[in-house]
């Protein structure tokens, strides 16, 4: 196998892995992707099973349009943001822009002071293990002392603003959140359903159960996983 053939094989494998990841995240079948992209099911099946070469430029264009990502993203050349901005309202685009600007300022601050600051989400509404995600502001916290243990898995923090999660979490605690994988059995995660945010312990099963972190209140039975979005898992608590 020459270098060109090796590169083509690597790109094909990346395309297949990326498509599989997106299909799993969206709970799509290959048949649905075929319908949306207008690429025949047989062609997609051959691509995903490795029984064909690198997809044609035409098929890459159709796949990127159907999935709402760039061709570079499918090829593994752009892993920054997997967002179809054309489907977002202006409010959401403005929010993403503000978050990006905030992250840029934190990066510059990290470089200047030689520390590791990450953003902290501070809810301004009524906080609990179930809350309405309607308003928040952003702060930051120095996690330099946790960098050796957790490294780049630290995505952001969430500040506890009242005593509703006591005794598991105290007022002014900052929960350090990772988005490297879904919560394992017994781990605390941040779960979103509609406009509601849940800080709950995860217990998988058929169906899975989200349990209150402080032992009070009712369990939530997640009968339909497609209704839930996992924002991240709690790595540690800074208090």
Same domain, 21 and 45: yes
Same domain, 142 and 194: yes
Same domain, 71 and 116: no
| Closest C-alpha among 225, 94, 80, 238 to residue 156 | 238
Cβ atoms < 10 Å from Cβ of 67: 21
**Does this model's pTM top 0.85?**
no
CA distance 211 to 198: 10
CATH code of the domain in which 187 resides: 2.10.109.10
Domain end, chosen from 87, 115, 132, is at 87
Same domain, 196 and 80: no
CB 133 within 8 A of CB 124: no
Same domain, 19 and 129: no
114: tokens are: 């030689």
CA distance 208 to 177: 21
Same domain, 131 and 207: yes
CA distance 6 to 164: 56
CB 203 within 8 A of CB 214: no
Same domain, 62 and 130: no
212: tokens are: 């209150």
Number of structural domains (the chain) is 2
Instruction: Please give the pLDDT value at position 3.
Output: 47
CATH code of the domain in which 23 resides: 1.10.260.40
CB 173 within 8 A of CB 159: yes
Residue 187 dihedral angles phi and psi, to the nearest 5°: -80, 155
Q: Which domain holds residue 22?
A: 3-87
Domain end, chosen from 38, 55, 87, is at 87
Report mean pLDDT in 10-residue bins for the chain, 239 residues.
59 86 88 92 88 82 85 70 68 78 84 90 83 82 93 92 92 93 89 88 85 90 83 94
Instruction: Please give the pLDDT value at position 35.
Output: 92
Same domain, 137 and 223: yes
Mode of pairing for the β-strands spanning 136-142 and 154-159:
unpaired
Residue 68 dihedral angles phi and psi, to the nearest 5°: 70, 30
Bond into 207 cis (ω within 30): yes
Mode of pairing for the β-strands spanning 208-212 and 117-123:
unpaired
Same domain, 14 and 104: no
């Amino acid at each position: 196998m020459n270098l060109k053939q090796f590169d083509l094989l690597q790109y094909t494998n990346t395309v297949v892995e990326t498509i599989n990841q997106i299909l799993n995240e969206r709970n799509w079948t290959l048949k649905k992707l075929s319908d949306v992209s207008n690429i025949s099911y047989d062609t997609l099946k051959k691509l995903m099973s490795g029984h064909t070469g690198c997809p044609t430029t035409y098929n890459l264009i159709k796949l990127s349009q159907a999935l709402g990502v760039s061709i570079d993203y499918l090829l593994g050349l752009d892993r920054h943001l997997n967002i179809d901005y054309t489907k977002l309202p202006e409010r959401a685009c403005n929010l993403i822009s503000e978050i990006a600007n905030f992250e840029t300022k934190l990066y510059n601050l990290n470089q200047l002071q030689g520390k590791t600051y990450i953003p902290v989400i501070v809810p301004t509404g009524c906080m609990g293990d179930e809350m309405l995600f309607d308003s928040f502001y952003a702060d930051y916290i120095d996690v330099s002392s946790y960098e050796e243990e957790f490294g780049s898995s630290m995505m952001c923090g969430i500040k506890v603003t009242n005593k509703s999660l006591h005794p598991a979490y105290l007022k002014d605690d900052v929960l350090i959140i990772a988005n490297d994988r879904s919560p394992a059995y017994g781990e605390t995660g941040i779960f979103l359903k509609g406009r509601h945010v849940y800080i709950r312990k995860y217990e998988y099963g058929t169906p899975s159960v989200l349990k209150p972190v402080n032992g009070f209140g009712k369990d939530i039975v997640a009968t339909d996983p497609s209704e839930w979005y996992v924002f991240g898992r709690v790595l540690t608590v800074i208090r």
